[in-house]
Structure 1
Amino acid sequence: MVKDTQYYDILGVKPEATPAEIKKAYRRRAMETHPDKHPDDPEAQSKFQAVGEAYQVLSDPGLRSRYDEFGKDDAVPQHGFEDATEFFTTIFGGDGFKDWIGEFSLFKELNEAVEGFDENGQPTTGGPGATDDSNMVKHDGKASAADRKGKLTKEQRDKLMEMEQKRREDIARQVNELSLKLDAKLKNYLLASREKHLDEFQLKLDQEIEELKLESFGMELLHVLAKVYKNKANNFIMSKKTHGFSKLFTGPRDNARSVKQTYNLLSTGLEAQKTMEQMSEVNPEELDQYERAKFESMMAGKALGVMWAMSKFELERKLKEVCSRILTDRNVPSKERLAKAKAMLYFADKFERAKRSPEEAEEARVFEEMILGEKAKHRR
């Protein structure tokens, strides 16, 4: 028996609801009460804030326990409640996948790229008093040679090299961390299998997958994991069966896939650029409410498509390196690495089988576009 059910009522769940049910209910209620959907309601922001506060309490085991026993006055976060709008944009940002894929945000790379370039699309050199030679004009009133030819200055090239070096170091760090985490997961599976506790292990994994499905691009990320695990594990198992001979075939095949992925990425970018150019000719202010909503939805969908394609390409490369670290570690006996490859196939099968209902799929699409809209507001 709980002392107060107000927060549960706000989210539309029962007091005995599971964490996954509470998270799903929050996402649904946040979309229903979002101020952008109720521009004429002066109380829209307060309703939206109430939904956010309810979830901030019920999603925290300690706060939820205090709320159930003593009520809302005794269940306030230590640093107070977060702003509902900012909380909305971060709660489904993919953090649930961190132990599986590391740092992955569709918006992090975009924000960093925007900060690294000026309004003309040129890389900034950064630092107080820094000058951009591409914008300098000679004393005779003529533009510099670098500016006329559209070439990057030395400072700009150095800035780009610095950004690339930082990115590579960050990826290497993530690969090291993810290799340790995945290796531990594979060992836990093998131990559960040997000690006949596989049902318990599977139940826990199924519950985790249900929560991961609720993350932004959750289904897509699960399927990327499944694809990489299956490909790397099958290649390794085949190489052991054929004493390495299969590498003559799997190597070129994987390289061909990489080339195809690069081509698809470029095609996606070019298609989106063409669409954006066409859309730039449209003045949203001249559209009625329905046409404007449709226009903004289309813009958000295109932007999400490009950002997802770029992020997915980098993610697959990172995950392949993680799998290779584990399967090619010469310090581990070949028989043990073979067992780990088969464990990868187990995880791949579980991730591949994850599905959303049509209603969940549509809800996810709308939610992700709303998240993108909020991110765009914060950048302006």
Structure 2
Amino acid sequence: MGIPNIPSRKPEFDHKQCSHCRIQLEFQIPKSKSNNTVTSQISVRCYSCQKISTFDTIREANKTNGTTSCDYNNNNSGSSKKPRRQYGTAQEPLETELYDILGVSPTASSSEIKKQYYKLALQFHPDKNKSPDAEYQFKKISDAYQILSNPDLRKKYNEYGGKNDVEPEGGFVNPEDFFKQQFGGDRFVDIIGEISIGRDMKEVLQNAATEDTNGDVTEMRRETNEEERENIRQQRVDKLVSNLIHKLSMYVDSNDAKGTEQFKKVIEFEAEDLKAESYGIELLHAIGFTYSLKAKQYLGGDQIFGLPRFGHMLREKGHVFSETISTLRSAIDLQNSFKELQKAEQEGLDDIEKSKLEEATANKGLTALWKGSKLEVEAVLREVCDRVLSDSKERKEVLIKRAEGLKIIGEVYEHVKSDSEQVIG
């Protein structure tokens, strides 16, 4: 049986993404008075959010075969048709496709772009979003952010568009791996290790989708992963213990005030560098709190009756309890939002309300992911500090010096401020 021949027809409709809610639109370009061209600019009302998107079109008829070719640019300013520029600026990029993908203005700040990326990455993650093109959208979002979050690549894209193969050095990172790096990135790995955000997020989303219908399978999956998780955690702690001992050796080996001051300057310089990373200040504060508390616990143990140490231990327990409750509440809130989304899809909620619900869920997801990551980081670092300060192979004097150095690092990290706070201060 031969391959069937299916007739085709000349395309009548065009497709574009709504610049407001990002849903896919299909529309027919109206012809101009000339038979050779279509209108150079059109306004399209989105069937979902009912907002207007304006698109520039350069579409001329091919006189030899009657077909048409089209080039688009989003343009919500309503300006008249202009010749295509050869290069753009930060205020008026040559192309806006990547900004449209993320749903931000070309003049958006880096923090606005980052926040929108997190929202969309959670919204379109394939494990949560079951639409056929979710994986494709997830990759587009990741690729767009990898360019726009890099100042040099963003400048190049603004000036020349995508025609010069603008992409990160070494190519685009796998979206899953890239998303895992967003809390601190690689710069914090030597201090906190690899945060398991990607794997944990995937499990949360899968469990939220299957818990009601297949609770036994979910429980079996958790039990299977528990041993593997513990092995990975121990390897992580071992490495961080070695890293922290090496870091503290600069202070331990110093014997005067000059050495102490030099050590503090090195840590301050490091903190100023790290705070620029994604969630850098928040991570430094969490690390600093843990370091300071553990150092004070150890140093307070030598005082009369050990009362200061006991007080710091109570403070630690209270902090852990409070953070755990806060994280659980965020996780429950997120899970409830997923259930609301599933219910909305089943009941056929209109697209506008569904879009609002998806955005709210994405915000809750980001909050839950950060709180969960913070809880994980602090728990790992408490174990690391305990091992560093209870090393049976070292003399008491060395352990005391380690605790003093740990306290210095903790206090520096805890008091790191954003550039805007420093200006105000």
TM-score (norm 1): 0.58
- Look up the equivalent residue of 1:171 and give its one-letter code: R
Partner of 2:171: 81
User: Computing the radius of gyration over CA atoms, which structure comes out larger, 1 or 2?
Assistant: 2
Partner of 1:270: 332
Partner of 2:396: 334
Equivalenced residue count is: 284
Match of 2:191, SS state, is helix
> What is the aligned-residue RMSD (CA, Å)?
4.7
More helix by share: 1
More strand by share: 2
- Look up the equivalent residue of 2:247 and give its one-letter code: K
Closer/same/farther in 2, CA of residues 193 and 53 from structure 1, 3 Å limit: farther
1:232 and 2:298 matched? no
Are the equivalent residues in 2 in contact too, given 1:228–1:319 (CA < 8 A)?
yes
Closer/same/farther in 2, CA of residues 211 and 301 from structure 1, 3 Å limit: farther
- 1:333, distance to aligned residue in structure 2 (A): 1.5
Give the whole-Å Cα distance in 2 for the aligned partners of 1:193 and 1:321. Answer: 28
Match of 2:393, SS state, is coil
Are the equivalent residues in 1 in contact too, given 2:327–2:372 (CA < 8 A)?
yes
Unaligned runs of 5+ in 2: 1-88, 92-107, 121-139, 154-163
Match of 1:337, SS state, is helix
Greater RCO (CA < 8 Å, at least 6 residues apart): 1
- Look up the equivalent residue of 1:110 and give its one-letter code: M
- 1:295, distance to aligned residue in structure 2 (A): 4.9
Identity of aligned residues (%): 24
Match of 1:196, SS state, is helix
Give the whole-Å Cα distance in 2 for the aligned partners of 1:87 and 1:160. Answer: 22
Are the equivalent residues in 1 in contact too, given 2:327–2:371 (CA < 8 A)?
yes
- 1:318, distance to aligned residue in structure 2 (A): 0.8
Partner of 2:83: none
Give the whole-Å Cα distance in 2 for the aligned partners of 1:84 and 1:97. Answer: 20
1:98 and 2:189 matched? yes
- 1:159, distance to aligned residue in structure 2 (A): 4.5
CA shift digits 1:251-295 (9 cap, x unpaired): 45533443333333323323333445455565798455xx88765
- Look up the equivalent residue of 2:249 and give its one-letter code: K
Closer/same/farther in 2, CA of residues 285 and 356 from structure 1, 3 Å limit: farther
Give the whole-Å Cα distance in 2 for the aligned partners of 1:277 and 1:28. Answer: 30
TM-score (norm 2): 0.53
- 1:167, distance to aligned residue in structure 2 (A): 0.8
- Look up the equivalent residue of 1:315 and give its one-letter code: V
Closer/same/farther in 2, CA of residues 214 and 114 from structure 1, 3 Å limit: same
Q: Which of 248, 251, 265 in structure 2 is aligned with 1:186?
A: 248
Give the whole-Å Cα distance in 2 for the aligned partners of 1:226 and 1:50. Answer: 30
Instruction: Give runs of aligned pairs for residues 88-167 of structure 1, distance below 5 A.
Output: 89=179, 92-94=182-184, 95-111=186-202, 120-121=210-211, 152=216, 159-167=221-229
Are the equivalent residues in 2 in contact too, given 1:238–1:246 (CA < 8 A)?
yes
Are the equivalent residues in 1 in contact too, given 2:291–2:407 (CA < 8 A)?
yes
- 1:350, distance to aligned residue in structure 2 (A): 1.3
Closer/same/farther in 2, CA of residues 200 and 295 from structure 1, 3 Å limit: farther
